[in-house]
Amino acid sequence: MTHEAEAYIDDSRELRDDDTFCFSCTPDKECFTACCHDLNLVLMPYDIFRLKHRLGITSQEFLDRYTSVHVGQGSGLPVVMLQMEGPYLKCPFLEEGKGCSVYEDRPGACRTYPLARIAARSKDREGVDEFYYLVREPDCQGFNGGRQWSVREWKEHEGIAEYNEMNDLFGELLQAKTETGVQSLHADQIELFYMGCYNLDEFRRYFLEGPNLDRYMEPEEVVKSISEDELELLKFAIGWVKKKLFQGSCFACGLPPQE
């Protein structure tokens, strides 16, 4: 989970649900919370959704206060990262001596460690094929004398399923960009992507409260459901961005995707 996590991925073994590994992360470890510093932690749309609810702030406030935005290498799309703070580059949600202050709503990457999920969608098959690699961070003592887990048990214990489900939805959007062969997007289209995926309160204002013709093209029950349920709104927003940017011309900004 550190800035070099990819370098520590053990890709010699693909772990599926019934495969096992040994790990225990407990407060008595000398390394306790050391891993919550100096992270390059990419936030997914659902991570932001959970954290902004946890903190009781708007998505705009969350993005302004806790994140930095980068341009994805290759994709050219905005990538939102959790901003570390202070001289020791501490995660803003780490309470020294206590642990994670947002534990029940911590990001998917924090839950999944020491596993890294690899998910692929095939054009010919429904659903996602997933497996996991172990990430062996050199300073992590969790592998010393850890209890045995199956991947399935770890996923249940850490509450990973709903994060995976939402990340797969986001993955479909990224895959749609790849499949269209679109190399770069206009600034307006990038803004639309950022708003729909990360700034959900702004998307609500834009789609449900503003003079947006698209709203009237949606069935009444869909508009009702996304008005009343914010998770449904996030799912809708991700699908809507996909449709707008990669499945036809972009009516929102009046521009076709750039080749």
Count Cβ atoms within 10 A of the Cβ of residue 140 and give its class: 0-12 exposed, 13-18 middle, 19 or more buried: buried
DSSP state, residue 187:
H
Q: Which of 2, 15, 21, 36 binds ligand SF4 (CB under 6 A)?
A: 36
Contact call for residue 173 and ligand SF4 (CB under 6 A):
no
Smallest separation (angstroms) from ligand SF4 to the CB of 105: 9
Judged by CB under 6 A, which of 5, 84, 140, 245 binds ligand SF4?
140
Binding status of residue 32 toward ligand SF4 by CB under 6 A:
yes
Among 45, 108, 142, 196, binds ligand SF4 (CB under 6 A): 142
Q: What share of the chain is helix, strand, coil (3-state, %, to 5)?
A: 45, 20, 35
- Using the rule CB under 6 A, which residue among 40, 58, 75, 141 binds ligand SF4? 141
Residue 58 C-alpha from the chain's centroid: 17
Nearest-approach distance from CB 3 to ligand SF4, in angstroms: 12
Question: Judged by CB under 6 A, which stretch of 7-15, 32-40, 124-132, 155-163 contacts ligand SF4?
Answer: 32-40
The residue among 28, 35, 178 whose CA lies nearest residue 113 is 35
Query: Residue 47's CB: how many other CB atoms inside 10 A?
Result: 24
Other residues' Cβ atoms within 10 Å of the Cβ of residue 209: 10
User: Which neighbouring-strand residues pair with 128?
Assistant: 121
Residues 44-103 that bind ligand SF4 (CB under 6 A): 91, 93-94, 100, 102
Footprint on residues 102-121 left by ligand SF4 (CB under 6 A) = 102, 106-107, 110
Of the ranges 30-38, 53-61, 119-127, 195-203, which one interacts with ligand SF4 (CB under 6 A)?
30-38
Ordered DSSP codes for 49-81: HHHHHHHT--HHHHHHHHEEEEEPTTT--EEEE
| Angle in degrees, CA 199, 3, 137, rounded to 5 | 125
Residue (142 or 257) nearer to ligand SF4, CB: 142
Looking at beta carbons only, is 162 or 229 nearer to ligand SF4?
Answer: 162
Write down the least CB distance from residue 51 to ligand SF4, Å: 8
Strands annotated E in 83-210 = 94-95, 99-100, 115-121, 128-135, 147-150
125, burial (CB in 10 Å: exposed 0-12, middle 13-18, buried 19+): exposed
Q: What track of x and - describes contact with ligand SF4 for positions 201 through 240 (by CB under 6 A)? A: ----------------------------------------
Compare residues 8 and 186 and give the one whose CB is closer to ligand SF4. Answer: 8
As a whole number of angstroms, the distance between CA 25 and CA 122 comes to: 35
Q: Which residues bind ligand SF4 (CB under 6 A)?
A: 25, 29, 31-36, 39, 91, 93-94, 100, 102, 106-107, 110, 140-142
